[in-house]
Structure 1
């Protein structure tokens, strides 16, 4: 395989919203139902000659009403939180449209005739070998890459083993670092341009050509 088919470089090592609204809503609803059951039991078992005091009855009804309103408020807040989270996620996702991003995962798209990845070597290695497979698991390229310490970049120009060129698709990179005759796997990160955004499911997903990934997997702008 010609060394011109790849580009390998090295550089120096470079909001979860939580809420108790849902549990509060469930707790509030449970308290409301318990209080209603207790009040009905009191009414059923009260002494006809000594009925429940009107003020006590009224006070309990007011307390029940407040519990019900709190439960409804918690439900509404939970719904609003979900809506706002979805909108925020969508807004961030659409901001990536047209941008080149670095994402968690070893599968990258072939875009403009090339596929790119990044990987980290904390202390460098004696040798780094890479293998690329296509969507069917077929080995389409094997070679060497940068063994320098820090963040390394690897770009494949789509040249296949038979000399022809891949034109599109998703390709997976495997990286193995060797030091003192000991081999270790290295987790690469895919790089690609965001071509479309889908937020219909409530969680925004990004399409990098033939590769789809969650917005949560974005590591950085590349």
Structure 2
């Protein structure tokens, strides 16, 4: 059985949340920007109300996309945990056959999944390994 690694993007949500930095704009910020834009517009060329609605719709789409991305990253992390659980107690072999053994535990780090064999050998789980 070959295991395909989960994309490295699964760790970005955890990394972003751990740094505490956020470039997201919420609805209140958007409304403040909109009001400021209305106050500072040229009175001889006012913005159409349809333009405001289009901006709000665009902002709503961006926020929904960000929420979808967050949910997808959570699903990817759950999938990775499921993959990790599935290989514990099974025998893994490297693609070239130099490393082989029964998986005692699995550690998930920033570089992906690492299987720790019964003899203590750490084995990166990635393309080309065979699980039996």
Name the TM-score class by shorter chain. Answer: 0.5 to 0.7
What is residue 53 of structure 2 aligned with on the other side?
62
Counterpart Cα distance in 1 of 2:57 and 2:46: 21
Q: How many residues align?
A: 105
Partner of 1:98, secondary structure, is coil
- RMSD over aligned Cα, in angstroms? 3.5
What is residue 71 of structure 2 aligned with on the other side?
80
Q: Hey, which of these two has a bigger chunk of helix by percent?
A: 2
**1:44 aligned residue (40, 44, 47):** 40
Are 2:132 and 1:205 aligned? no
Which structure has the higher relative contact order (CA within 8 Å, separation 6+)? 2
Partner of 1:61, secondary structure, is helix
* TM-score, with length taken from structure 1: 0.38
Q: Which runs of 5+ in 1 are unaligned?
A: 1-14, 20-28, 106-117, 119-188
What is residue 181 of structure 1 aligned with on the other side?
none
Counterpart Cα distance in 2 of 1:217 and 1:92: 13
Change (3 A) 1:213 1:73: farther
Q: CA deviation at 1:202?
A: 8.9
Which structure: larger Rg? 1
Counterpart Cα distance in 2 of 1:200 and 1:60: 46
Counterpart Cα distance in 1 of 2:41 and 2:68: 38
Q: Which runs of 5+ in 2 are unaligned?
A: 10-24
Q: CA deviation at 1:94?
A: 0.9
CA contact (8 A) 2:114 2:123 kept: yes
